[in-house]
Chains A and B, each alone.
Chain A
Amino acid sequence: MKTLGDISNLPSMSDIAFLLLIFFLVSTMFAVEQGIPLVLPGRQSTNVTVKRSDVLEIDARANGAITLDGRPVSLRDIRPAVEKGLAQNEKLIVVLSTHPNTEYGLMVDLLDEIKLANARVISLRTLPAEG
């Protein structure tokens, strides 16, 4: 039987509470970290000699200039160049040399472009400080 003064409608209260519970359970997102993975050469790794033709050299200078095999290029040119290089030579090794005074962000931008071009063998180098 319904009464007019039945304002505190308790059953729907629990619905609201459970709705809130379920909403927050579903919408809670745990922070997942994203990063560019890379495997460094360890202690056991030996130096290998590679052919000059297998190497694509990308340099990031202290002033933010980028060179590709010695030619000055912009960040946008890196990806097509690496893709072209990989199409011509599957064993291509991309060497990313960065000057110690270069911003880390530029190095990550370049690494991002190289990874996006699907290069598998990437080598990180540091340019000599005076260079």
Chain B
Amino acid sequence: MSFQRTVQIENRIPTASMADIAFLLLIFFMSTTIFKMEEGLPVELPRAAAAQSQKQERILHVWIDAGGDVSINDKLVSAADLGDIMKAALSVNPALVIAFNADYRTAYGTVAAVIEELKKANAVRVSFTCDPEADSGPK
């Protein structure tokens, strides 16, 4: 009397759990991603066609809103403090680029005062942040 062997070894990769893994990854990244909140002041940037992409890692943002408030690293600063902040930032990264995120309605005098402080602190590389040129918007 012979018994038929009932257990057979299948050589297939089980793909049923693949979906679980994929969704698990999806849900993991969806729930752990924290979007960085917009720092700085609310500004409407001017538009320019000559703008070039700036390397993010070297940038120190200076925000200037339409009312003339100046903000660096989420803190409102006065022109007198700018020099010290710039010197400290430059000592960490000498190739620092100061990006002006200024509202297009800001009086130029405020921007000029910041530029003067930058010159004194020897922070010579600046960038005037702009939105890419478009037909609509402030011009």
Which A residues lie at the B interface, using CB under 8 A? 10-11, 13-14, 17-18, 20-21, 32-44, 60, 98-109, 111-112, 115-116, 124, 126, 129
Contact = CB atoms under 8 A, between A and B. Distances in A.
Main secondary structure of the interface of B (DSSP, over half): mixed
Interface size class on chain B is 35 or more
Secondary structure type dominating chain A contacts: mixed
Contact of B22 (A18, A98, A105): A18
B72 interface: no
Nearest to A104: B106
A35 B129 contact: yes
B1 interface: no
A36 B127 contact: yes
Contacts of A109: 46, 48, 139
B30 to A, nearest CB: 10
A35 B49 contact: no
A35 B112 contact: no
A14 B139 contact: no
